[in-house]
Amino acid sequence: MRNILPSHTSSLSRLNRILSGNTFNHARFFIIVDENTYSHCLAPLITSVERIQEAEFMEVPVGEECKDLTIAQQLWETLLESGADKESVLVNLGGGCVSDLGGFVAAGFKRGIRYINIPTTLIGMVDAALGGKTAVNLGGSKNQVGFFHQPTITCIEPAFLNTLPDDELFNGIFEMLKTFLIGNPEQYQTLCDMLLGGTFEVMPDMIASCAEIKSAVVKADPKDQGIRHILNLGHTFGHAIESFSHQPDQQPLNHGMAVGVGIVCALYLSVKKLGLPQEHLDRYCQVAAKLVQLPHYTLKQTESILAYMRQDKKNAEGEIRCVLMQELGAPVIDIAVDENEIRDALIKIS
Ligand SMILES: NC(=O)c1ccc[n+]([C@@H]2O[C@H](COP(=O)([O-])OP(=O)(O)OC[C@H]3O[C@@H](n4cnc5c(N)ncnc54)[C@H](O)[C@@H]3O)[C@@H](O)[C@H]2O)c1
Ligand SMILES: [Zn+2]
């Protein structure tokens, strides 16, 4: 069941006020959109934010296809041809692909110009548009070239979610479950209750609270050298499960859903290795099963997933390391897990 979110424009009016202020006096604005955000999101933005009305917009391909060096180069060329300068501001209107690309382009242009993220997917609102990690893909591998470059403003307007397809919404709900698991047990329980009750709407205050947790973690470790790793709960398994799911004959899973399954594995190992109460694993599995069909992996498939995990960039000194949980709200980073533990967790998923 999805309710329509109120088309409140308080975030956009706040943005309107900020952009009309002195700090943006000499700014020219350039908006990056993809086909879907061009159709669904550009008009409400332009109607509500005066300074954006004069902006040039640049359309990029939908999804991962836009996170590409050639697209970045085209955007840099367009900016140059249009006379963009150090005071120019990029506005990324879209999901995580648009903000990763737009942030990357802003970081490189004239050695760094300002940019504003206006996330239009749930994953963007609670994760991708926050934290300053920007990247494009290279050689078929994700996020291989990028910079840390913080957005000047991130404007979260939940009403954009009204046009987002369900799959994309669920993608973001798993990242919310992850964030609340590590950062706010009470909100985690509330979100679980909602999902178990069949409500798949996420409230604006929940989105805000999730974004606050991520921002606080990023502030404590902006360059991802320690505590920020807690945001990777479910991701060591999740990345491998996601890559495996895109092999021929497999049911493809989007990032959030793969992470959702990865969290099952991480919680299973948390029960075994850190004494997390079993009831938390059981409840999480019930919730996850409402959003995605939990896969049942054969022995051969677990070997394939394990092979992807060996390549994961977070492995240190040849060990596979995961974020596990001691309790709700108490994540522990860098726990070494051996290959038999991984096989065991993957086989026990469903
Ligand atoms: N930088 C970070 O910290 C970070 C964190 C998490 C994810 N990411 C990256 O984010 C990307 C995934 O983000 P995503 O899931 O938002 O992908 P996305 O940008 O591809 O958006 C998903 C789909 O939704 C469409 N869409 C966007 N807004 C819409 C709206 N309001 N109505 C209808 N359709 C809409 C898009 O066109 C696209 O088809 C990945 O590349 C991932 O690596 C980055
Ligand atoms: Zn993620």
Q: Which amino acid is at 220?
A: A
Q: What is the mean pLDDT of residues 237-255?
A: 92
**% of the chain exceeding 70 in pLDDT:** 95
Find where tokens 């050689």 sit: 139
* Ligand 1 pocket mutation pick from 62, 97, 127, 174 by most atoms within 8 angstroms of CB: 97
The pLDDT value recorded for residue 202 is 79
CA atoms of 37 and 204, how far apart (whole Å): 20
Asked if pLDDT for residue 312 goes beyond 80, the answer is: no
> Which two tokens mark 16?
């309107």
310, 286, 313, 150: which is closest to 223 by C-alpha?
Answer: 150
Three-state secondary-structure class, residue 60: strand
| Structural domains present in the chain | 10-163 (3.40.50.1970), 169-347 (1.20.1090.10)
The confidence score (pLDDT) of residue 315 equals 61
pTM of the model: 0.94
What are φ and ψ of residue 140, in 5° steps?
Answer: 80, -5
DSSP-based three-state secondary structure for 59: strand
Looking at residue 199, what is its pLDDT?
A: 84
For residue 148, report the phi and psi dihedrals to the nearest 5 degrees: -90, 120
Tell me the CA–centroid distance for residue 174 and ligand 2, in Å. Answer: 9
Ligand showing the shortest atom-to-Cα distance for residue 100: 1
313 has a pLDDT exceeding 60: no
Q: What is the mean pLDDT of the chain?
A: 93
pLDDT of residue 23: 92
Taken in order 98, 101, 103, 105, is the CA torsion positive or negative?
Answer: negative
Residues 89 and 116 sit within 8 Å (Cβ to Cβ): yes
Whose alpha carbon is nearest atom 33 of ligand 1? Answer: 164
Q: How far apart are CA 246 and CA 160, in angstroms?
A: 29
Tens-place pLDDT, residues 182-207 = 999 999 999 999 999 998 777 889 99
Q: Which of 129, 130, 131, 135 is nearest to 147 (CA)?
A: 135
Enumerate residues lining ligand 1, CB below 6 A: 34, 36-37, 40-41, 62-64, 67, 94-98, 100, 120-121, 123-124, 127-128, 131, 133, 142-143, 160, 163-164, 168, 171
213-231 average pLDDT score: 94
CA dist 138 and 82 (Å) reads 27
**Whole-angstrom distance, CA of residue 177 vs CA of residue 292:** 14
66-115, pLDDT tens digit by residue?
999 999 999 999 999 999 999 999 999 999 999 999 999 999 999 999 99
Render pLDDT for 13-67 as a digit per residue (tens, 0 to 9). Answer: 999 999 999 999 999 999 999 999 999 999 999 999 999 998 999 999 999 999 9
- In this prediction, residue 326 has a pLDDT band, given cuts at 50, 70 and 90, of very high
Output the CA 336–ligand 1 centroid distance in Å: 31
Cα dihedral: 107, 102, 170, 334 (round 10): -20
**What confidence tens digit (pLDDT) does each residue in 264-294 have?**
999 999 999 999 999 999 999 999 999 999 9
- Which residues pair with residue 215 across a beta bridge? none
- Tell me the C-alpha distance between 302 and 305, whole Å: 5
Backbone angles phi, psi at 251, to 5 degrees: -80, 110
CA of 240 to the centre of ligand 2 (A): 12
Kindly provide the b/e burial profile for residues 229-251, where b requires at least 16 CB atoms within 10 angstroms of the residue's own CB.
Answer: bbbbbbbbbbbbbbbbbeeeeee
